[in-house]
Amino acid sequence: MHSALSDSSPVQAAATPGAAAERRVGLVLLLACVALVAAASVFLWQAREATLRQARQTSANLAESVLDHVEATLRESDAFMALVARTVQAPYEDGGGATQALRDEILRHVTERPALHDVYVYDARGALLVSSYAVARYETSARGRPFFERHRHSARDDLQLGTPYRTEPHGEWVVPLSRRLSRPDGSFAGVVVGALSVEHLQQYLARFELGPDAVLGLMSRDATVLVRRPFSEAAMGASLKDSAAYREHYGHAAAGTFTSTSPLDGVRRQYSFTHSTAYPVLVVVGLSREHLLASWQRSALLNAVAVAVVVAGLVLAGLYNHRMLRAQRHLTRELQGSHRRLAELKLAINEHAVVAVTDVRGRIVAVNERFCALSKFSPEELIGSPHSIVRSDRHPPEFFKEMWRTIARGGIWQGQIENRAKDGSTYWVDTTIVPFLDERGKPYQYIAVRTDITELRRIQQELEAAHEHLAHSNEELARLAAFDPLTGLANRRRFDEALDEAWRGMRREQQQPLSLLMLDVDRFKQFNDGYGHPAGDACLRRVAMALRGAVRRPGDLAARWGGEEFAVLLPHTDAAGARVVAEQVRRAVQALAIEHRQAPMGRVTVSVGLHTLPAGSDAPAAALVEGADRALYAAKHNGRNRVVALQDLPQEPPPAPGPEQAQATPARVEPLPA
């Protein structure tokens, strides 16, 4: 190192120490071992506390994030249910009842918002007035339900959460959200209930990776379990009001963190919870204590082993020095060897690190060769100059003021700095500045040890650019959504993918048929011309809802083919089963009773064509579409509002297309009567 400081003088031979010197050496070694063990213990304890503190912050942030989502879901559901309540109350004031428009609004809302599983409106006797289903449901009476009895005996008009229960007939878990309906005189008129889907909330909670034995749950304010991840049948609706967690934490604070053993599964966890200020719910995040401290325990074990090794080494060194103190020659040789090792260490540091020493005024008093090579200044140019000679314009003045405040107090400063070389180029260094203190504890010099990280910074910038590009790509993928924005059904692109998958599956299994329904809204062009395009869009949405209600089997896919045409893919379904589904769809659309003055029946109807590829068929997927398309044309040609299968048709080709079909479905040429 180039320096204005002189090297220390050679070590002189020491006099042979006596027994007192040996005892002092032994005492120093003992104190060193004790200090090392104490320092290691303090360090490990601080690391443990830091691990738990970070886990507390992480779980608290997660609880807040989940609560925001739950509040948004409840707020949206509450607003819709309040709208339903006002809409229902208005007919009561006029002496009427629930309207078709109200049912349509409920159907539209439930379709567009999967968080609400069902919506029901009950009268004062508990009888079902209207629901999100067009046909009668099993939930025809609310009498005996806790939410019904609660509202019947309370005049409060606010959103209330009930105990989770299973709906009929499929047994889905839901959380009832309820509002009171009141007559003009304030008397009880009924209840509007929204069944919040537990499955929807479970899917949201499943997005978070929390580690083994972790729990993430939603509870009511009185500590009734509403949703829990991982899902537990026994936990649904369980009350924790008698638990120590409720008595000591949930019932007394708006938010907090504590450690406890779960009364449900016996796992000891660190819990973070936060109450909603808007709704009677709280979110609880529980992280396994064992999992949280697993990494720390491994590190603590390694550190303990290392400390034990060091202490053992110190003990052995003490025994060795005890012997060496008896011989001056051995001591001198050991000291000389220490000086050689110090020189080697100095050489190693000079080869690896960028080192500079400055006085308290910031003037350079010593630099090594790597400093000169990196800054492109000569030692003569650097020594005696202020260290700001290599300062760039990257960092604000406050950055350096804070650095000087730290080291002037005797503290160690660490950070990354961009410096400027003599030729104007810049470079980044990871810097540690350590003050040299005098006997009064005041700094008299500072040594800065740096590592060149210019290349690392460049790689980091490239990674950031790659991450940004990946984010743009993900946004593009999200934009290419697989669903039609008007109807909420699968779009043509998703249908094509599903058709290809189903056809390949049929070819692999060789024992399952594959059916396809093609639907067309009858006289839709006249409907658009007579009622306008907004009404036409509303008509398509309602037809899509009816289609979705009729096609419920897992694996089946309902899609919007284009315009007023729809398609239903039915894997593992023969021609007879496909005909049953087609008739259900046709009747469901007809049951909507959408007015259509230009139609013979005075309402909107659909024509359905179906085609089936039997098990073991070698026909391509395009043959399935072409066959269903031909059957659809035949249904339109033979009077509409009917179901026709390709196998029902004669072999001769149909007549030429008429003008209505040509205008309504420009994607195909279909001869329809005017």
* Active-site amino acid positions: 564
The H-or-E segment that residue 290 falls in is helix 289-324
The residues, any chain, with a CB within 8 Å of residue 288's CB and separated by 6 or more, are 211, 212, 213, 214, 267, 268, 269
The residues, any chain, with a CB within 8 Å of residue 478's CB and separated by 6 or more, are none
Copy the structure tokens of residue 277.
């200020």
Question: If you ran DSSP here, which 8-state letter would residue 390 be given?
Answer: G
Distance, in Å, from the CA atom of 624 to the CA atom of 219, rounded to the nearest integer, reads: 50
C-alpha closest to that of 123 among 105, 104, 142? 142
Question: If you ran DSSP here, which 8-state letter would residue 234 be given?
Answer: T
Q: In three state form, how does the secondary structure of 526-539 look?
A: HHHHHHCHHHHHHH
Q: Is 299 helix (H, G, I), strand (E, B) or coil?
A: helix
CB count, 10 Å around CB of 629?
23
Chain position carrying tokens 């309370």: 154
Within 551-594, residue ranges assigned H as helices are 575-591
Using alpha carbons only, how large is the chain's radius of gyration in Å? 39
CA distances (Å), origin 241, targets 247, 251, 257, 284: 7, 8, 18, 14
The residues, any chain, with a CB within 8 Å of residue 589's CB and separated by 6 or more, are 543, 546, 547, 604, 605, 606
